Structure 1
Amino acid sequence: MGSKTTTDAEKGSVVANHPFVVPQFTARDYTSFFTAGALCATITHGAMTPIDVVKTRIQVDPALARHSLLSGGRSIVANEGAAALLTGFGPTAVGYLVQGGAKFAGYEYWKKQLVQIAGDQDTAVKYRTAIYLGSASIAEFFADILLTPLEATRIRLVSERGYATGLVSGFARMSREEGFRGLYAGFLPILCKQIPYAIGQFTVNELCHELVNRSMTEEKRKSLSSASNLGITLSCGVVAGFAAAILSHPADTLLSQINKGHGPTGSMPHRLKVLAQQAGFRGLFAGLGPRMIMTAGLVAGQFIFYQGIKDAMGAPPGLEIHKETSKV
């Protein structure tokens, strides 16, 4: 779809006023994207396990419902010991290892496919936000097929003290007692949670980077120091993390309730509707403050690690379709 003759083309970009070129990623490139995504996700989610434990307990334990992140953590440690803050570390690390790899590699893959479907440069740039939304949503859907049973195990370990000793025993118990239905009981709510999360993570990050790029000349962008680039990545990631937390939090609350066995019997949409009505607006956003802090750190950290690991592996940059309007 055009000859690879320009600097922007070599960088894998689709930019206004330049030839429309789509990079031809190889299987090795996608393997690098998967590996970088898997490592960045498992590192950041694993590190955030204590915060996630407190957040989940605030959502499902009435005794902690009105606690802040700090006071909730203190209460858990006082009553159950410091080790309780690491409950669910195994499912978290393994779950987000496979989910992160599939999500980041999938986002790169589907973004390229949708750019090709757009057919020409102007259309791709014009509809870049729709491309971000679509590629993030599709990638997250397939990633969640891998994540759901491990997330169900994690939430059960966190919400029911003494349920199992760890990932293997917890997963085995759920499989034995509840089967496929139990492991995937949260698939619909996890989609409702993770797809808005991915949209906030990737789309807002892309748009933030575009705003930064449009605020400076090409020469200035090229002359930025490593520290400046790191600061931009961090700042954009924090904003994207806040957006991801807000968009996905109601479904995150419902997911915690579903996996603890709360709510009526019946179809999943019915259970979600009843639980949402019972919780109300305030209940659906219980624990949002701690989750915003956690998610800002997660998303910013993931983008920093993702880029660093890709660079270390010699992977190519992802496809960019930012609209460049800065003065040269």
Structure 2
Amino acid sequence: MSVKPEPVSALFAGSFALATLSAPDGPQFPALVTPDARVTDLRVALADEALTVRGLLEDWAATLPRLRALAAEDGPRRPLAEFRVHAPVEPRQVFQSGANYRQHVIDLHVAHRAPDDDRPEEERRAEAAEIMDRRAAEDLPYVFIGLPSAITGPYDDVVLPAWAEKPDWELELAAVVGRPAYRVSVEEALEYVAGYTIANDLTDRATVFRRDMPQIGTDWLRSKNAPGFTPLGPWIVPAESIADPGDLRVTLKLNGETMQDESTKDMIFNVARMVSYASRTARLLPGDLVLTGSPAGNGMHWGRLLRDGDVMEGSVTGLGTQRTRCVAEDAS
């Protein structure tokens, strides 16, 4: 089951995006999609039946000019509505970020005060803001690893596991790597980004911290990596079509009500710093994802967590909209 995309006047910024599609009962294939919702099968256009989106990213410098030329042609294209939209790429590695939106972390700092801290909220908020400013200037991003098996399509149902007591949403901007990157500087990091897409990094808040041994700390495997816990897409929009990834609006609606609505200007560490930091330790590969954190407004903030039948609609400026429905797993 899946929630169908709604027709819009322009699907994304720029002249084209990359998608992974399939016809009914057909195999998945890489596609060039134009903003008016028309599709070119890239297996045919580039004469390669085994082609995938990740394969296109493997040689992005050579691929990009060919895609620009295809987008400019008046060749035959089919309506997007004829196809199912899948996650746009199958990454080998997923790098996820936590505590990366200033206002979000300030809210958490204020909410989780010590029992004996009776200072006014304004004072505690000012203290938190000072800590965030110092962190942005002096500290490093917080990055951990996610599993590719958690990824699902942008319109697919999201199964809420029976064991997940507090499933929550976290809409994020995701950078898609277009060149192998290892120990790259902040100044050159964006040269390794092929494009951007949308990710919803679902989290079961009840299992973030280990109950059996609290000193171990966070358990990201359990809390974030259930199958389908990372709806991705609908497309990869080339980086050249996004003027400033540090100035995009991240918005999530739950059943039509806006829950998250923040600019990426509020990020403590921008995309370049995230990519550079991840590459200090790991070798980033074409098609890998760097998720950049989620702004204020998740379910814990509102006291309203995900349940069966909820529909999440997530959008990022210039990148389109994903729409997923929550379905409770049969406890039996």
Please report the TM-score for the alignment, with normalisation by the length of structure 1: 0.28
> Which protein is richer in helix relative to its size?
1
Larger Rg: 1
TM-score of the aligned structures, taking structure 2 as reference length:
0.27
Instruction: Name the one with the larger strand percent.
Output: 2
